[in-house]
């Protein structure tokens, strides 16, 4: 009789279990709760990165278009450099500024063999532009690794929470000796909720990583094209002045 009463009480408690999202979280095991909290924090951080990258890429594309319009307008490169100053606002103008600084520094101390000097100047300008480009892209790609990591690991972290929760459910079945679905359902629901959170964190991270990687690669190609064209312009100008 006493065992029957315990089973009835367990059944009644499971029937009246809170099956809301908050209820599933509060009823979960401590480890499952830790998994859920970790996945939620990862998801929030991913969305913060996604919004920041999207806004930044739009701003950089707009600034690059404005700079290219000024650069190809036919005005003096020295005037453009003086106007930008030592604080370029975007990677393209930073590449331009680094090359112009090297150009002015080198042309201010002319001497030696002309052909060798021109070749050396061209190599130095290409090198400083490449260094600047790599530094700017490194800043732009910051936190992209986190998106990739969340996209690849979050489902498995959620699955770990699910496996742990289902283990607890079967342990409860063994203790209560009651195989009724009403007894097992709340624990399984809590466990599956962890998997759902893992997918909620992973899916946007994967989609955003693929989209942002494509945008960054296209922008990097735009910067490399500008660096190549500007390097050729300075090389021709050096030959003309020599």
Residue 132: closest CA among 232, 238, 215, 226: 226
Q: Pick left, alpha or beta for residue 177 (phi over 0 → left; psi -120 to 50 → alpha; otherwise beta).
A: left
Q: Given pLDDT bands bounded at 50, 70 and 90, which one contains residue 241?
A: low
CA–CA distance, 150 with 156 (Å, rounded to integer)? 10
Say how far apart CA 158 and CA 150 lie, in whole Å.
Answer: 11
**Residue 17 pLDDT greater than 70, yes or no:** no
Q: How far apart are CA 78 and CA 230, in angstroms?
A: 13
Does the pLDDT of residue 87 top 90, yes or no?
Answer: no
Per-position b or e across 165-196, b if 16+ CB within 10 A of its CB: bbebbeebbeebebeeeebbebbbbbbbbbbe
Chain segment 55-86, per-residue pLDDT in tens: 999 999 999 999 999 888 888 888 888 888 77
pLDDT at 5 over 70: no
Over residues 88-115, mean pLDDT: 79
First-to-last alpha carbon distance for the chain, in angstroms, is: 107
Tens digits of residue pLDDT in 160-170: 888 888 887 77
Q: Concatenated DSSP letters for 185-239?
A: HHHHHHHHHHHHHHHHHHHHHHHHHHHHHHHHHHHHHHHHHHHHHHHHHHHHHHH
* The pLDDT of residue 12 is above 50: no
Q: Is it the case that residue 112 has pLDDT exceeding 90? A: no
pLDDT of residue 220: 95
CA nearest to 61, candidates 150, 140, 147, 149: 140
- Mean pLDDT computed over every residue of the chain: 82
Question: CA–CA separation, 232 vs 32, rounded Å?
Answer: 60
Predicted pLDDT of residue 181: 62
Q: Alpha carbon of 154 to those of 38, 196, 223: distances in Å?
A: 9, 10, 34
- Global pTM value: 0.79
State percent of the chain over pLDDT 70. 77
- Least confident range from 8-22, 172-186, 226-240: namely 8-22
For 192-229, the pLDDT digits (tens) are 888 889 999 999 999 999 999 999 999 999 999 999 99
| Confidence class for position 9, pLDDT limits 50, 70, 90 | very low
- Report pLDDT for 8: 43
């Amino acid at each position: 009789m006493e065992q029957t009463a315990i089973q009835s009480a367990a059944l009644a408690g499971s029937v009246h279990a809170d099956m809301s999202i908050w209820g599933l979280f509060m009823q979960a095991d401590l480890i499952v709760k830790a998994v859920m909290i970790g996945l939620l924090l990862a998801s929030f951080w991913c969305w913060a990165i996604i919004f920041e990258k999207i806004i930044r890429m739009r701003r950089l594309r707009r600034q690059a278009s404005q700079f290219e319009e000024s650069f190809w307008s036919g005005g003096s490169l020295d005037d453009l450099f003086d106007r930008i100053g030592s604080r370029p606002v975007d990677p393209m103008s930073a590449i331009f500024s680094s090359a112009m600084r090297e150009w002015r520094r080198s042309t201010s101390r002319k001497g030696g063999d002309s052909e060798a000097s021109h070749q050396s100047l061209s190599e130095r300008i290409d090198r400083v532009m490449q260094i600047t480009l790599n530094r700017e892209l490194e800043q732009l790609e910051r936190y992209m690794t986190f998106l990739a990591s969340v996209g690849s690991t979050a489902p498995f972290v959620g699955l770990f929470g699910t496996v742990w929760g289902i283990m607890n459910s079967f342990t409860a079945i063994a203790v209560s000796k009651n195989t009724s679905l009403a007894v097992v359902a709340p624990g399984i629901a809590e466990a599956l909720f962890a998997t759902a959170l893992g997918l909620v964190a992973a899916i946007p991270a994967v989609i955003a990583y693929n989209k942002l990687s494509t945008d960054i690669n296209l922008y990097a190609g735009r910067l490399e094209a500008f660096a190549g064209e500007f390097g050729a312009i300075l090389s021709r100008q050096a030959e003309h002045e020599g």
